[in-house]
Amino acid sequence: MEYHKVKMVIDREYPIAQVDERIYGSFIEHLGRAVYDGIYCPEHGSADEDGFRNDVKELIRELNVPIIRYPGGNFVSSFNWEDSVGPFNERPRRLDLAWRSLEENKVGLNEFTKWARSAGSDVMMAVNLGTRGIADACNLLEYCNHPGNSKYSDLRISHGYKEPHNIKTWCLGNEMDGPWQIGHKTMEEYGRLAEETARAMKIIDPDIELVACGSSYLTIPTFPDWEAVTLKHAYDYVDYISMHQYYGNQKGDSQDFLASSDDMDQFIRTVIATCDFVKAQKRSKKDIKISFDEWNVWYHSNAADDDITKNHPWQVAPLMLEDIYNFEDALLVGLMLITLLKHADRVKMACLAQLVNVIAPIMTEAKGGKAWRQTIFYPFMHASQYGRGTALVPVLSSPKFDTSGHEDVTAVEAVSVYNEELHEVTIFAVNRDLKKDAEMTVDVRSFEGYRVLEHVVLENDDLKAENGPFCERVAPKQTSQSALDGYIMTSTLHKASWNVIRLGK
């Protein structure tokens, strides 16, 4: 059988950067069944005293998610945060304009913050810069972070939360470049609003980190002018620019679909270049970092979502954006994780969108049924578990091919992460060729005395194979496809496979 011949060198002396653990963040929006019937279901047998599902929480802990973006998303651009706090019987039912749903506010800011901490996560809070502005953002920050003896901090205390939440990461709106957004702004309008909101918020709490809205996707007409203009105004006060991107195999061309991560790589490179252009203009010494706070595969549910919003509006927690992922989706998620790690010097936060039920790695059966792992759960879990440490420069030589929409696509994409504390190095690799296996030789001479701990693979002969609550067709397995001889490791990477190769002492 003909193999691709792939060569890789990894060396602890050539780091990209320390991986910020927040690169393995996620996202929960008040959308569909993400909150209600997702993380929160008082009638479920596993529900805790606050009504949150412990079975879902345990799966989230498996993923080891360090930060969760909340409460949106498009939802935040018409959200009045005051509706979500205080006595339950006084909270109003509100029309959510983003998704044409009915929000009952049974889960609000305080409940979510408490739940996130119990799941091992910090909160990345988004403020409404669509229908609201500077004053409301400052009031929310005061409510969350000020210790007391002021109007909104005392209001929090009266609601039973004496200690401040100390939320340290804040998004200045959501996708404000998008005409679909409630309160959509021009780039000049948003840049000025972001600057003044950021300046005011940092007066209240100088220790917070702020994320300005970048472009909602690579091909939006205002990219990359949006980033340049926004940062022209807000550069001195913000710490991150956001990126959002989803991919889907709408054409039914799986080989081209798996090349989508190349577009993600180019998107990141262009944003970095734009940030550094503004840095040069301002003669600044500060680097703007990237928060890739929405990324995933999303396309399976589009027609159903449109029908609900157009023809069946104002439901409570309707079944929306419930993509059931297949094996090829898991491969692309793995490729996107590799891309994020290759840019660990500038991508410091990222949020898989979303976490439960809504385009998510974790699904629950409706009305209190079982929680289960989607195909994309596994590459994310592997990266979160073993991708902590220092990302190393991937010196990789791989055959290339063209697809229907991309040129010079590498057959194999790979990156490695060195965990000095544990004396381990992990290689994440995807063979995205659908026809040929690959033989990868890796020079590991800088890791003298290491041995192969394990080689885990995710593969399936059916690219469309899916998981379900009672049938897990796509799951990782141990293999013996890697062997070390001296300082050269040889690994077999089967066609269309996600591989996790761990070496240690």
pLDDT-derived band at 356 (thresholds 50, 70, 90) equals very high
Q: What are the Cα distances from residue 391, in Å, to 20, 343, 463?
A: 10, 9, 29
Active site residue 439: no
Alpha-carbon distance of 198 to 211, in angstroms, equals 9
pLDDT-derived band at 368 (thresholds 50, 70, 90) equals confident
Average pLDDT, the chain: 97
pLDDT digits (tens, 9 = 90+) for 403-434: 999 999 999 999 999 999 999 999 999 999 99
Residues 6+ apart with CB under 8 A from 154: 148
pLDDT at 101 over 80: yes
Q: Which amino acid is residue 45, in one-letter code?
A: G
**Which two three-digit tokens encode residue 409?**
């696509």
Asked if residues 442 and 493 have their Cβ atoms less than 8 Å apart, the reply is no
409-435 CB burial, b ≥16 within 10 A, e <16: bbbbbbbbbbbeeeebbbbbbbbbbee
Active site residue 294: yes
pLDDT of residue 262: 98
Alpha-carbon distance of 213 to 231, in angstroms, equals 10
Alpha-carbon distance of 392 to 458, in angstroms, equals 23
Residues 6+ apart with CB under 8 A from 41: 47, 51, 52, 53, 364, 368
Among residues 64, 36, 9, which one has the least CA distance to residue 385?
64
Q: Calculate mean pLDDT across residues 366-374.
A: 90
Q: What are the Cα distances from residue 219, in Å, to 153, 225, 243, 303?
A: 42, 12, 12, 22
pLDDT of residue 104: 96
pLDDT of residue 158: 98
pLDDT digits (tens, 9 = 90+) for 455-503: 999 999 999 999 999 999 999 999 999 999 999 999 999 999 999 999 9
pLDDT at 2 over 90: no
Give backbone dihedrals phi and psi of 241, rounded to 5 degrees, phi first: -115, 140
Asked if residues 295 and 347 have their Cβ atoms less than 8 Å apart, the reply is no
pLDDT of residue 306: 86
Give backbone dihedrals phi and psi of 15, rounded to 5 degrees, phi first: -80, 150
pLDDT-derived band at 303 (thresholds 50, 70, 90) equals confident
Asked if residues 447 and 484 have their Cβ atoms less than 8 Å apart, the reply is no
pLDDT of residue 1: 62
Asked if residues 254 and 304 have their Cβ atoms less than 8 Å apart, the reply is no
| DSSP β-ladder status, 371-373 and 362-364 | antiparallel
Choose the catalytic residue: 29, 82, 111, 175.
175
Residues in the chain: 505
Alpha-carbon distance of 212 to 198, in angstroms, equals 9
Alpha-carbon distance of 152 to 135, in angstroms, equals 12
pLDDT cut 70: percent of the chain above it: 100
Q: Calculate mean pLDDT across residues 332-347.
A: 98
Domain architecture of the chain: domains with CATH: 4-11+391-504 (2.60.40.1180), 20-292+335-386 (3.20.20.80)
Choose the catalytic residue: 142, 294, 328, 424.
294
Asked if residues 140 and 127 have their Cβ atoms less than 8 Å apart, the reply is yes
pLDDT-derived band at 305 (thresholds 50, 70, 90) equals confident
| DSSP β-ladder status, 482-485 and 424-431 | unpaired
pLDDT-derived band at 393 (thresholds 50, 70, 90) equals very high
pLDDT at 48 over 80: yes
Q: How many CA atoms lie within 13 A of 230 on its CB side?
A: 32
pLDDT digits (tens, 9 = 90+) for 106-165: 999 999 999 999 999 999 999 999 999 999 999 999 999 999 999 999 999 999 999 999
**Which two three-digit tokens encode residue 363?**
């699904």
Q: Which amino acid is residue 231, in one-letter code?
A: L
